[in-house]
């Protein structure tokens, strides 16, 4: 099972790096959105510090949604998904591999870029550290819930819009706890409770989302 998981991750990473434009689109979107807000709001430090957690988290959320439509679409189009379903390997395990590969190219880079972009908002160092931790806990949750939405809309017209409508309600708790952790740290209340809630949300999504996505994939192929 571990070899199957590694093969699924490796295959998706190789296919993704052959389409580097998709990865760069996510990163450029995140950078552009977070950079435009300080330019539009102005140089007032107190206002920028207050707005920073919400802006950075909303930008990361929207950026991670850009690549959801292609999570299973290419395998569905060329018949690879049917071969995966016919194999003896557990489908939820392959879904976990694809989701992890998706997070490596769309979630992890956002968490790495976040400290540099947070400097535009004059966030203190401890708040930036909490921001990175919250993104490391929250972006895998976004990828897991996004996989379920992508599987449910596989093969439908206007799938990108449907994915957004399906997954946004599930993204809201991660957004609230992630931005709330940074805000609580900045106000001196401590971010521990928010980070624990983000961790619990990640654990729940890691257990339930692969099975739900696997079931949705079987329904889409049938």
Count up the domains in the chain and report the number.
1
| pLDDT tens-digit series, residues 110-147 | 999 999 988 888 888 888 899 999 999 999 999 999 88
Q: Which residues are within 8 A (CB) of 183 and not within 5 positions of it... i.e. 6 or more apart?
A: 50, 53
What does DSSP assign to residue 44? -
pLDDT of 42 over the 70 cut:
yes
Asked whether the beta carbons of 94 and 9 are under 8 A apart, the reply is no
pTM over 0.85: yes
Q: What domain range is 26 assigned to?
A: 2-221
| pLDDT tens-digit series, residues 15-37 | 888 877 778 888 899 999 888 88
């Amino acid at each position: 099972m571990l070899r199957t998981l590694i093969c699924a991750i490796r295959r998706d990473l190789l296919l993704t790096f052959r389409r580097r434009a998709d990865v760069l689109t996510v990163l450029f979107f995140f950078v552009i959105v977070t950079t435009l807000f300080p330019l539009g709001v102005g140089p007032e430090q107190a206002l920028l510090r207050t707005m920073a957690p919400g802006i950075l988290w909303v930008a990361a959320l929207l950026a991670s949604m850009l690549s959801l439509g292609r999570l299973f679409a290419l395998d569905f189009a060329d018949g690879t998904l049917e071969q995966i379903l016919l194999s003896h390997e557990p489908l939820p395990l392959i879904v976990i591999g694809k989701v992890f590969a998706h997070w490596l190219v769309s979630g992890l880079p956002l968490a790495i870029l976040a400290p540099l972009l947070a400097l535009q908002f004059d966030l203190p160092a401890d708040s930036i550290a909490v921001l990175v931790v919250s993104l490391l806990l929250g972006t895998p949750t976004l990828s897991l819930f996004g996989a379920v939405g992508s599987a449910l809309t596989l093969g439908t017209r206007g799938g990108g819009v449907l994915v957004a409508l399906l997954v946004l309600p599930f993204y809201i708790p991660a957004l609230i706890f992630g931005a709330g952790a940074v805000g609580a740290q900045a106000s001196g209340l401590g971010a521990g409770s928010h980070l624990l809630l983000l961790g619990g949300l990640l654990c729940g999504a890691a257990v339930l989302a692969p099975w739900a996505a696997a079931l949705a994939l079987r329904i889409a192929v049938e």
